[in-house]
Each structure stands twice: as C-alpha cells, then as structure tokens.
Structure 1
Amino acid sequence: MAYAQRRELSGNRTMGAFFTAVVVGGLLYAIVTGLAYDVVKKSIQDLKTFDVEEQPPPPEAPPPPPKDMPKVPPPPITPPPLVRMEAPPPPIQTVTTPVIPPVAPPPAPMSPPPPPRKVQSAQSAKGDLRTLFGADDYPASAQASGAEGTSQAQITIGSDGRVVGCDIIRSSGNSALDSATCNILRRRAKFTPARDSNGNATTDTITTPPITWRLEG
C-alpha cells in the first residue's frame, strides 16, 4: 500500500472517530439534561413555600406641642345653610256628583167617572112653599120685640124627597125668624126627588121664594 493511501485512510478514521464522539456526547448531554430537569421539577413540587407578611412599623407619636404655644380655640361649627323647599300645592280633589236618574212620577189616579147627569129637578109636592107658613108659626120672641122681615133659603133635597139641608141666603134681620124658616121647611116640605139620566132618584138643590114674616095688626 502506498503512503498516500495510508494517509487518506488515517484521515477518514480520525473524522469518523470525531463524529462518533460528537454524537455520543450529544446523547449523553441530552440524557443528563432530561434527568436533571425531572429532578429539579420534582424538588420544586415537594418544596413547601409560604408567604411572610411584613408588619408595618408602628406610627410615630407626634411630638408634644411647646409649652409656650397659645391655645387656639377650635373653629366654630357653622351649621349648614337652611334650604327652604316650597311645599307642593295640595292635590285638586275632583268631586264627582253621582248622577241620580229621575224618578218617574207615579201614574195619576184614574178619575172617577162623572156622575149621571140630572135630567129632572125636584118638585114640591105641595106646590108653593110659602103656603107651609101660618100665623101660628110666628116665633114668640119675634112677636114680643115686634120683629118683621123677609127670609130666603137654599135647601138641599135628598133622594127620598126630604129636605136634608137649609142655608139662609137672605136674612130677615132677626135670627128667630131665620131659624123658624129653616125649621118649618125641614119638617113640612115634601118633594118629588130629582132623576138622573139613568132614571134613578138623586139629590137636588133649589132656592125657596122669599118668605115674609109680618105681624097682623
């Protein structure tokens, strides 16, 4: 073998050994580094840590005031200004007047039917009523006082033909003569009663003729 060939082979071996050493060293470094990282990580987890709070230093007491310093009175307390608030106006109360429906007036009572119309007036059964009076009917008190006069009456005749009411409408001027006039008419006068449109007997009112009371001379 030539010298040049031996030198080339020697150089190749040296380079191969160098690369082999670099590769082995890199593997060893990686192994060592990984193991060291796991150890450190486990140590950190096992380590019990705690925080220590720092206590602040106590405050320093203020220095005492000098003895010759004059005492200053505290400032007067000024009350806050009064704020006058206007009272709100009272609410307006709305008075609602209830609507009362008008009450319908009660129906008017039915008026009674009109009485039957009178068709025939009462008639004196003895004719002229003045014939009922005589000299013996003169009241004694009127004779004693010499009283004379004329009376006229309005009489009411019942359905039986009897005089049921008497009112003096013209006085003689003497109460005894007026009373005697009505008393005689009630006792002696007889009438045919009046008749209505149905033919039934009904009441009637008539006025007597003037009845003169005169003393015989």
Structure 2
Amino acid sequence: MSGSRVVSIIIVALIHVAVGYLLISGLAISAVKEIAERVTTVDIEEEVPEPEEEPPPPPPEEITSPPPPVAPPPPINIAPAPPPIRTQANIPPPAPPALVIPPPAPPAPPPPPPSQARPARPDGQARWQRRIIENYPSRALRREIEGTVGVSVTVNAEGRVAGCRVTRSADPILDEAACDDMTRYARFEPALDAAGNPTTGSWSTNIVYQIN
C-alpha cells in the first residue's frame, strides 16, 4: 500500500472515533443541529433589477383647426295672444279687370290665283283624223287587214307629237302606220301649267282601220 492511502485510512478511522465519542458524550446532537442549521441556512442575495428602458416619446399631436363657431339660434318670441281681427261690415266691390285690347291680326295673304293648268287638246281633230284614215297602208289593203289600233302620244309645247307608243295592237302593219300618221298629221293645243305657260302633255286615242 502507498503512503497516501495509509494516511487516508488513518484519517477516516480518526473521524469515526471522533463521531463515536461525540455521540457518547451527548455533543453529537448539538453538533448535528449546528450542522443542520448551517446546511439549511441559505444566503439569498437580492438581485439588482436591471434598469428599465424608457418608453419612446409619444408622437406629436396633429394640429387640427378648431370647428367653425356655431351661432346660437335666435330666440323665438311666442306671442301670448293673437292680435285682434278687425272685421269690416261693408266690403267694397272688386275692381274691374283691366281691359286689354289685342293688337290687330296681320292681314291674310291674298288667295293664290286660280290654276290655269289643262291637258293637251286636239286641234282640228276631224281634219287630220280623216287624213290618217285615208292614208290606209297599201300592204294592209292588199291583204285586207282591218283592226283598231290604240295609241298614246306625247305632245310638246308647240302642239306637235314628240313621241308615240301603241297601247292596243291590231297588226304590225297597222300599228306602224298609226304612229307614223299621228306624228305626221296630228296637231294639238299644248298643255298648260298652273301659271298658264305651255308645257309637255299627253293624249290617247283609237284609230279604226276598216276597208269600205
């Protein structure tokens, strides 16, 4: 065994001897209490509080314009009693209404002149119609062709036939002869407009071709 271990064994033995002696002598109890008080006594150090942070300064208050002054309502005077009503025995008649004379009406425009319009009229119809009948187409005579041809002519402002069309056909030979003879022989009084001026008009008739 090493020397340090022998020393430790001796120290332990001495401690046991001392404890046994204390127990025997009655000092062990007081020693145990003292040891217990020392053990249970705890030194509590007061913790120093850390300095608190200062709160940030409050934001600056917004400057608002003061509300407009409100005028107090005017005092209301309540009459204690209504004013007396005066009655009039004789009521005067109402004033006559003012006489308003309307201005004279403007003169009426003069009536328009009567219309002088009229259609075209044949001039010497018996004369030129006889010439048309006497001018019987020779080809129709040889073939003994008869019939009635209806024609409508356009009469110009000079009273002459400016155009002709067949409205009722009898035979091509007679139809062509009727328009040719109407253009050559027929004469008219021209149509008139509302002012009485000659104008273009129209006229219709039937030409009877008959072999005697």
TM-score normalised over the length of structure 2: 0.43
TM-score normalised over the length of structure 1: 0.42
